[in-house]
Amino acid sequence: MVIVGAGQAAAALARALREQGFSGDIRMLGEELEPPYERPPLSKQVLLEGRAPDALWLLDDDARLAQGVTLSTSTRVRQIDRAAREVLTDAGEAIPYETLVLATGGVARRLPGLAVDGRRVFELRTLSDALALHTALRGACRVLVIGGGWLGLEVAAAVRQQGCEVTLAEAASRLCARSAPPELSEYLLALHRDHGVDVRLGACALPALGEDGLTLAPDAQPYDLAVVAIGLAARDELAAAAGLATADGVLTDCSGATADPDIFAIGDVARLCASSDGAGLRLESWRHAETQARLAAAAIVGQPLGYDEPAWFWSDQFGRLIQIAGLPTPDLELIEAEAGEKPLWRYGRGGEVETVIGVDRARDVRLAHRTLPSLASRIAGL
Ligand SMILES: Cc1cc2nc3c(=O)[nH]c(=O)nc-3n(C[C@H](O)[C@H](O)[C@H](O)COP(=O)(O)OP(=O)(O)OC[C@H]3O[C@@H](n4cnc5c(N)ncnc54)[C@H](O)[C@@H]3O)c2cc1C
Cβ atoms of 203 and 172 closer than 8 Å: no
Query: At 379, is the pLDDT very low, low, confident or very high (cuts 50, 70, 90)?
Result: confident
Q: Who's near 24: CB < 8 A, 6+ residues apart?
A: 1, 98
User: Distance from the CA of 341 to the center of ligand 1, in angstroms?
Assistant: 32
The residue whose C-alpha atom lies closest to atom 37 belonging to ligand 1 is: 104
Claim to verify: residue 119 and residue 223 sit in the same structural domain: yes
**pLDDT score of 46:** 97
- Per-residue model confidence as pLDDT tens digits over 312-363: 999 999 999 999 999 999 999 999 999 999 999 999 999 899 999 999 999 9
Closest CA to 244 of 42, 79, 20, 50: 79
Which residue pairs, CB below 8 angstroms and at least 24 apart, start in 207-212? 207/114, 207/144, 209/114, 209/120, 209/121
DSSP bridge partners of 270? 250
DSSP bridge partners of 72? 29
CA of 4: how far to CAs of 101, 110, 135, 223, 266, in Å?
6, 24, 31, 39, 10
| Residue 227 in this model has a pLDDT that exceeds 80 | yes
Asked whether residue 146 is assigned to any structural domain, the reply reads yes
Asked whether residue 170 is assigned to any structural domain, the reply reads yes
| Residue 382 in this model has a pLDDT that exceeds 80 | no
Asked whether residue 49 is assigned to any structural domain, the reply reads no
- Per-residue model confidence as pLDDT tens digits over 229-261: 999 999 999 999 999 999 999 999 999 999 999
Asked whether residue 46 is assigned to any structural domain, the reply reads no
- Per-residue model confidence as pLDDT tens digits over 98-139: 999 999 999 999 999 899 999 999 999 999 999 999 999 999
d(CA 250, CA 256): 9
Strands 333-338 and 344-349: antiparallel
Claim to verify: residue 115 and residue 223 sit in the same structural domain: yes
**pLDDT score of 211:** 81
Pocket test for ligand 1, best of 104, 264, 287 (most atoms within 8 A of CB): 104
d(CA 264, CA 299): 10
Asked whether residue 305 is assigned to any structural domain, the reply reads no
The residue whose C-alpha atom lies closest to atom 53 belonging to ligand 1 is: 125
Domain count, the chain: 3
**pLDDT score of 78:** 98
User: Among 10-14, 278-282, 313-317, where is mean pLDDT lowest?
Assistant: 278-282
Query: At 298, is the pLDDT very low, low, confident or very high (cuts 50, 70, 90)?
Result: very high
Q: Who's near 356: CB < 8 A, 6+ residues apart?
A: 324, 325, 326, 344, 345, 346, 347, 364, 365, 368, 369, 372
Claim to verify: residue 119 and residue 226 sit in the same structural domain: yes
Residue 331's domain comprises 312-380
